[in-house]
Structure 1
Amino acid sequence: MNLIEDIKIWISENPFVVGIVKYLLWVLFIIIVIKLTRRVLRRRISNTSARYKSQKGIEILGYILLILLSLFYFSGSMKNFTIAIGVFTAGIAFTLQELILSLAGSVYIFLVKVYKPGDRIEINGIKGDVIDVDSIYTTMMEIGQWVSSDNYSGRIVKLSNAFVFKGPIYNYSQDFPFIWDEFNLPIKYGSDIELAKLIVIKIARKVLSDYTLNSKAKWNDVVNKYYIENAEVDPTLAITLNDNWIQFNLRYIVDYKKRRGTKDVLNDEIRKEIYLTNGKVMLASTTLELIKIPKLEVDVNKTN
């Protein structure tokens, strides 16, 4: 009986400590509920995208509940709740600017659908495939740097979500998962140019037929959604005359993840077809034409 009385006396004499303990218990309760909810969603939802979005939504809701709990608990009453929010916001806005921007960025990414896991983006000068978006960071598998074309470098990059407010975001796959690519082909003067054009266009249409067909439907959706003019998605060929050769410029549309492999197939198929023309079409290379060699006279018998 004396123990119970002593506990009551201690509680009455230390209200601040008791309040902190109650607050921590509430925080622990919210964290446990969030973790259990995430675990249930992970088991019940089979669709990967829906499971990921639901778990991120629960995580954001947990942060909001913890912030509201802190504000309400330490404000003392509902009367001072608004004042507490103002003071609390002003304090953390100064000391935790980057963290606040990151949290706001995660909400913005989630609601506006700026990008999602699986998208290929370029942000803050870093290009890669998004593999995760959490409350603070966007995690990417980096592309490029010391490796050529669109190959993975092997580095995993964590980038603050705050960067969505600080500069442009290039999304390679949202709405329109295709990109335009091109390469130049040097054809030697004296070649059968009409035959060369037929070869390049024929191979381009054969190799790129699936991309062209699928991209047309996607491009129509983009035109209907945004204020943008229609564009040519079929392979196009432009010719330029220069000092050394006739330059063929092939422009075409391709899946954003298959740019390097597609360019390799196009070049190899064109090379084979040109070889079968038996010299009617020839690839050019840089050449130097020597106009005149100056005459050099040496008198070996002349003495000083």
Structure 2
Amino acid sequence: MIAIENIKEWLIANPFIWSMIKFSVILIILLLLIQILRRYLRKKISNTVVRYKTQKGIEILGYVLLTFLAITYFSGAIKDFTIVIGLFTAGLAFTLQELILSIAGSMYIFLVKVYKPGDRIEINGIKGDVIDVDSIYTTMMEIGQWVSSDNYSGRIVKLSNAFVFKGPIYNYSQDFPFIWDEFNLPIRYGSDIDLAKSIVIKIASETLSEYTANSKSQWKDVVNKYYIEDAQVDPTLAITLTDNWIQFNLRYIVDFKKRRLVKHLLNDKIRLEIENTKGEIILASSTIELIKIPELEVKLNVDQSK
């Protein structure tokens, strides 16, 4: 009894320690209740996605309750409740700033229509097709990386919606689902250049006729909507004279999802037409021309003893 009385007197003499003990007991009880609730819901919810989100929600709610409990407990009677709530809100915003920014980003994406599922975008250095946009993440099917051209890599990328505020977003399909592409053809000097030009333009016009026709009407809508000059959507050919060959540069418009296929078709058809010219047009390759061979002086030592 004497020991208990001594403990009581010591606690009365040290109110801060007694207050900390009571707070610790309340904290332990609250944490136990949260853990019991999480275990109960984990057993009752069979859906993996719902179970995961529920667990996360309870975890966040627990942090909020613990923070609020600490503020209310150590602030006594809370005479100035507005100040306490302000401090609590500021602390919560600082702690969950990335989450809050992600939620704000999802609202921005939806209201401003930055992108939507089905669009091909590049954001934060990651390029892919958007397959889902939720309140926190944008989910993309990645393209590129270790595979060439615009092919899927097979990886699904989840990116925080907060990144819409942190850098540029490249949208391949919004308003105008076509892109410009180009490739070079080296033609040897001495070839029939006029014939080569007619072949390239003819094949490009025939192969790309559908894309050209569809893109013209949509490009007019883009010009009317934005402050942008009108552009050439028909295939164009530019010629450059180099040291080794005459370089043909073919520029054309194509569906943003068919860039690789169309480039293959154009190259294959042009190759076949050039081969059918029977040497009138020859594709060039890197060559080395020797202007002068230096003179060599060779001395032979003949054995005179033989």
CA–CA distance in 1 between the matches of 2:81 and 2:181?
57
> Any residues of structure 2 matched to 1:52-71 within 5 Å, and which?
none
Change (3 A) 1:227 1:86: farther
Gaps of 5+ in 1: 1-15, 25-61
* Aligned residues: CA RMSD: 3.0
Give me the whole-angstrom Cα distance separating, in 1, the residues matched to 2:180 and 2:100.
Answer: 38
Are 1:241 and 2:235 counterparts?
A: no
The TM-score normalised by the length of structure 1 is 0.72
Q: Does 1:111 align with 2:111?
A: yes
Query: Could you report, residue by residue, the CA deviation over 1:103-123 in whole angstroms, capped at 9, with x for unpaired residues?
Result: 110111111111111110000
Change (3 A) 1:233 1:119: same
> For residues 237 and 230 of structure 2, what CA distance do their matches in structure 1 show?
18
SS of 2:167's partner is coil
Q: Where does residue 178 of structure 2 map in the other structure?
A: 178
Q: What are structure 2's unaligned runs of at least 5 residues?
A: 1-25, 35-56, 73-79
Match of 1:131 in 2: 131
* Cα distance in structure 2, aligned partners of 1:183 and 1:104: 42
* C-alpha spacing 1:267/1:81, structure 2 compared with 1 (3 Å): farther
Task: Please give the secondary structure, in 2, of the residue aligned with 1:249.
Answer: strand
Give SS of 1:150's match: coil
Distance 1:202 1:237 in 2: 11
Q: Which residue does 1:156 correspond to in 2?
A: 156
Cα deviation, 1:82-123, whole Å, max 9, x if unaligned, reads: 767644431222111111111110111111111111110000
TM-score by length of 2: 0.72
Counting matched residue pairs gives: 241
Q: Report the AA paired with residue 132 of structure 1.
A: D
Question: How many Å apart are 1:298 and its aligned residue?
Answer: 2.6
Match of 2:275 in 1: 275
User: In structure 1, the residue corresponding to 2:208 is in which secondary structure?
Assistant: helix
| CA 272–105 in structure 1, closer or farther in 2 if over 3 Å, else same | same
Aligned partners of 1:278 and 1:94: how far apart in 2?
A: 73
2:84 matched to 1:89?
no
Partner residue, 2:292:
292
Structure 2 counterpart of 1:163, one-letter code: F
Q: For residues 266 and 236 of structure 1, what CA distance do their matches in structure 2 show? A: 14
Query: How far is 1:293 from its partner?
Result: 2.3
Q: Identity over aligned residues, as a percent?
A: 80
- Determine the structure 1 residue equivalent to 2:266: 266
Query: What is the rounded CA distance, in whole Å, between the counterparts of 1:132 and 1:83 in structure 2?
Result: 40
**Counterpart of 2:221 in 1: which secondary structure?**
helix
Q: Distance in 1 between matches of 2:85 and 2:276?
A: 78
Inter-partner Cα distance in structure 1 for 2:252 and 2:260: 13
Q: Which residue of 1 aligns with 2:47?
A: none
Name the counterpart of 1:52.
Answer: none
User: Could you say which residue in structure 1 is the equivalent of 2:229?
Assistant: 229
Q: Deviations over 1:264-294 (max 9, x none)?
A: 0000001111111111111111111122222
Distance 2:192 2:134 in 1: 58
Letter in 2 for 1:232: Q
